[in-house]
Structure 1
Amino acid sequence: MANINHLKTPHILISRVDAIGDVVLTLPVAAYIKQLFPNATVSFLGRTYTQPVINTMTSIDAFINYDELKKLSELQQIEYLQKQNIDAIIHVLPNKHIAKIARQAGIKLRIGTTNRLFHWYTCNKLVKLSRKKSDLHEAQLNLVLLKPLGLEQVPSLPEIISHNNFRSKTGLTPALNAVFAGDKFNLIIHPKSHGSGMEWGLDNFAELIHSLPADKFNIIVTGSENEKVLLANWIQTLPSTVQDMTGKMSLNELIAFISKSGGLIASGTGPLHIAAFTGINTLGLFPSLRPIHPGRWAPVGKKAGYMESGTNNLETITPFMVSEKVKTWI
């Protein structure tokens, strides 16, 4: 059986090529690899649009762009991986194509889960892991894949938080800094989720915004370029003091902007997890519906929390409940 535990300076590749929130909750894998192998080189195989998130983790030494890799011929892809001198790959997100070329590139240790048939012939170390049936958090589930590298037990969420070295490397422009109010609590409302989480609804967010005193809260609405169009008419109905930052920031800028704010409210979406990892006050709104319940997807951070509906929707979470929670942040 392949083993790299004897290597003092192994090169270990983490593979996860999906969405921002998923990637954020995979970042602790890098920190724990560094704990197991202090002199390891850790690379992350990800997508172009998640690179800004990956680059904020100081435990990650290099980024490999999957979108660029796919542009090469299959032979060139294999040759590229061979040139990286990778000793082990961890397939955090099962991907048949990546598993195939990792095997063809001769990566010595290839770790995958037992519940993907293609892993049985592309990986040489299989880990029994069923995400849907597990009671572990997503960040913990990702760490289960480190057991072949010597991780003896899955850490608790507070332990994972203590290993966080997530830092923004982007400075804000004067224009973005000017959005913040020095004499108020700067609160980000991120109402949409790109389909990654159950949304609370614009009417609820509007009622929440109207309930927060304008002399104490500087409310900032964020969203992507696509969400800007969806939110434009709604934002016009909000108090004139609300600042519309939808579609105005790159992901690098958004990460830095979030890190300098006081708090953020959202459903289970990427910016929620970014906010939690930066250490600001974070409130996630979740249904009790598997597999999108907070037991699996709650934000992970020193000041992160969540509200759970107790039902399969978010109707029992009221604007008054959220308002009362947010007021404790001041």
Structure 2
Amino acid sequence: MSRTFIISRTDAIGDVVLTLPVAGQLHQLFPGCRVLLLGRTYTRAVADACPWIDDFVNLDELQQLPPNQQVAALRATGADTIVHVFPDKHLARIAWLAGIRQRIGTRNRWFHWLTCNRLVKLSRRHSDLHESQLNLALLSPLGETGPLPLPQVAALVKLTPTVPLRPALRELLAARTPEQLNVVLHPRSRGSAREWGLPHFGQLARLLHAAGHRVFISGTAAEGAELRDWLTEHQQYLAANLTGQLELPEFLALLASADGIVAGSTGPLHLAAALGRHALGLYPPIRPMHPGRWAPLGPHANYLVFDRPDCQDCQAQPAACTCIKALEPALVLARVQQWQPLPPAAL
């Protein structure tokens, strides 16, 4: 009888992307198993696009049920193991009440001592491992031995779009010369990462345009409203402003059709890397935000970081991060200029 695993990761999109190797490794350790992702509504499209995820358990829908029905819903999945990658006291409790046979969590959460029967010694804050390797460490009770080398982990980060890109955007992206790159810039981070800043992104847009490339701006509708004046100022350098226009499934299709993205350590950066596109991340050097922990993973993923580890200025004034702003737009342009155009990913 095949086994069923639940991976509980209920935070942000980028975090979910870097948890996908857990699902891939479970399929390698237990051929024929089923892997379910327990996540938030906004991450469902990531689960649907990942070949290692067999089904999705929606936390937001689960929380609408009375407590006894939440327990019944988890029990109805038929899961024999749950891996609490993102600790959640309530989910740990209902998994225990649901009688899931193996419940894996970290030792440094007190509620896991009450609700989990497989405890893993894991400290993320001071580790030298990548986030994806730390996530995989939670499989040690299931036979995973030692950290996988990062290139092997990266091979398990894989997404494929599930919906086609609308014809107008597909035609817009296709209307380029062979030497041109379609480059997505994602200026905002919604608080998930240090930001490079609008002046730098504006200068990069101008440099890319002058070099003959095509620039697309992505972001949420709220971010588009925040960027209104900046977008107007830089309109002549942009092929399209796509802020607020795409739901996540189609945004995945957009990224899979563009050549690459430049962004901070955000969900879109990790999505593009997992889709096999060029993904250039801009990072501060300080822990725990540094690329050693959060670099994008994929065949064309890369990053830039200012060489000033443990910058105390940035620790003291996070909003005025001087290290990430020390990355010059010309340096970023030079790295993008090394990209080779990529064919659109097939559905």
TM bucket, shorter chain: over 0.9
Within the alignment, does 1:89 sit opposite 2:82 as a pair? yes
- Check if 1:322 corresponds to 2:313: no
Query: Residue 248 of structure 2: which of 251, 276, 281 is its match?
Result: 251
Which residue of structure 1 lines up, in the alignment, with residue 172 of structure 2?
179
Deviates further, 254-263 or 207-216: 207-216
Residue 120 (structure 1) aligned with residue 113 (structure 2): yes
1:288 matched to 2:281? The reply is: no
1:98 pairs with 2:94: no
**Post-superposition shift, 1:315?**
2.4
Q: Please give the per-residue CA displacement for 1:186-245, whole angstroms capped at 9, x wherever unaligned.
A: 000000001001000000011111112446211101101110101111011115240111
Of 197, 201, 205, 1:205 maps to 201
- Structure 2 partner of 1:73: 66
> Hey, what does 1:3 align to over in structure 2?
none
Report the counterpart of residue 11 of structure 1 in structure 2. Answer: 4
Name the TM-score, length of structure 1 as normaliser.
Answer: 0.95
**CA contact under 8 A between 1:210 and 1:239: conserved in structure 2?**
no
Percent identical residues: 45
Answering whether residue 214 of structure 2 is matched by residue 221 of structure 1, we say no
The 5 A counterparts of 1:120-159 are 120-159=113-152
Aligned equivalent of 2:29: 36
8 A Cα contact 2:205 2:237, kept in partner: no
1:55 paired with 2:48, answer: yes
Deviations 1:98-141 (A, max 9, x none): 00000000000000000100000100000000000111000111
Kindly tell me the number of residue pairs found equivalent between the two proteins. 323
The residue aligned with 2:184 is 188
| Corresponding position of 2:320 | none
1:118 counterpart SS class: helix
Partner amino acid, structure 1, of 2:134 = L
Gaps of 5+ in 1: 1-7
SS at match of 1:220: strand
TM-score, with normalisation over the residues of structure 2? 0.91
Which residue of structure 2 lines up, in the alignment, with residue 237 of structure 1? 233
Looking at structure 2, the residues matched to 99 and 231 of structure 1 have their Cα atoms a distance apart, in angstroms, of 40
- Aligned-residue Cα RMSD (Å) equals 1.2
CA distance in 2, matches of 1:283, 1:231: 21
**Alpha-carbon distance in structure 2 between the residues aligned to 1:307 and 1:161:** 18
Q: Which structure dedicates a bigger proportion of its chain to helix?
A: 2
Q: Which amino acid aligns with 2:244?
A: G
Whole-Å separation in 1 of the counterparts to 2:145 and 2:211? 51
2:13 is aligned with what amino acid? I
The 1-side partners of 2:266 and 2:241 are apart by 19
4+ runs deviating over 4 angstroms: none
Deviates more, 1:171-180 or 1:52-61: 171-180
CA distance in 1, matches of 2:336, 2:73: 49
Q: CA shift at 1:54, angstroms?
A: 1.3
SS in structure 2 at match of 1:285: strand
Quote the Cα distance in structure 1 between the aligned partners of 2:158 and 2:283.
26
The residue identity in structure 1 corresponding to 2:305 is E
Q: Distance in 2 between matches of 1:72 and 1:117?
A: 26
What secondary structure sits across from 2:249 in the alignment?
helix
Distance across 1 between alignment mates of 2:43 and 2:114: 29
Mapping for residues 19-30 of structure 1, pairs under 5 Å: 19-30=12-23
| Cα distance in 2, alignment partners of residues 28 and 268 from structure 1 | 18
> Cα distance 1:297–1:240, how it changes in 2: closer, same or farther (>3 A)?
same
SS of the aligned residue for 1:314 comes to: helix
Matched residue, 1:4: none
SS in structure 2 opposite 1:256? Answer: helix
Within 2, Cα distance between the matches of 1:137 and 1:327? Answer: 27
SS in 2 for 1:178: helix
1:46 partnered with 2:56: no
Cα 1:81–1:174 change in 2 (3 A) is same
Name structure 2 gaps, 5 residues minimum: 309-313, 315-322, 341-347
Kept after mapping to 1: 8 A contact 2:27/2:52: yes
